[in-house]
Amino acid sequence: MSLVCRKWSDGYGSPSMRKTFRFSLTESQLLMDSCPVMKFVRKYSSMFRHIEIHYLMTFKEHLMYTWCRHLIVLLQMLSSNSQLISVKFQDLVYCFESIDTQTYDDIFRAISNFLGSQHNLKRAEIYKCFFGYQEGVKIFKNLTENRRESLTHLVLRKFVRYEAKDKEQKSTVA
């Protein structure tokens, strides 16, 4: 391949040519020893301006935990070397309902730290994640703190799971 073709090919594959980077790993990508999406993220994450994070359901537990590890690494990289304009999280509830508490806590911390690091965020959307109440409050605080001027669009749908206030009372009565 000539130098001109190689440079054009490299430039065409860069995120500056794309409006949005979508982190949505398939089972075949999760099965690879070295995930090409994660290589792409390592190389270009500083150029990302818009990112969508979607969980694609898998019934294979080891792949679910591989996805969780990749998500945490992605969020840590984005926290340290990017300033996004928009972010969207979708369908994490399907992951959260199947993983252990430690992994959930690690993901929550990574999301919270990531959102706290994005000072230029104008748009944030979170769909079907169902965080616990306290986690939801912390994420909301990290989203809105120091962004009164920049954050112009915020969507939180199925963001916090319902926790009955009298749940403890019902369990002690029975």
pTM of this structure: 0.81
- For 109-161, write each residue's pLDDT tens digit: 999 999 999 988 999 999 999 898 999 999 999 888 877 778 999 999 988 88
- For 24-78, write each residue's pLDDT tens digit: 988 888 988 888 889 998 898 889 999 999 999 888 899 999 999 999 999 999 9
- For 73-108, write each residue's pLDDT tens digit: 999 999 998 889 999 999 999 999 999 999 999 999
Concatenated DSSP letters of 70-98 = HHHHHHHHHHHH---SEEEEE-THHHHTT
Backbone angles phi, psi at 155, to 5 degrees: -125, 125
| Residue 34 confidence (pLDDT) | 87
The pLDDT confidence band at residue 10, using thresholds 50, 70 and 90, is low
| Residue 54 confidence (pLDDT) | 95
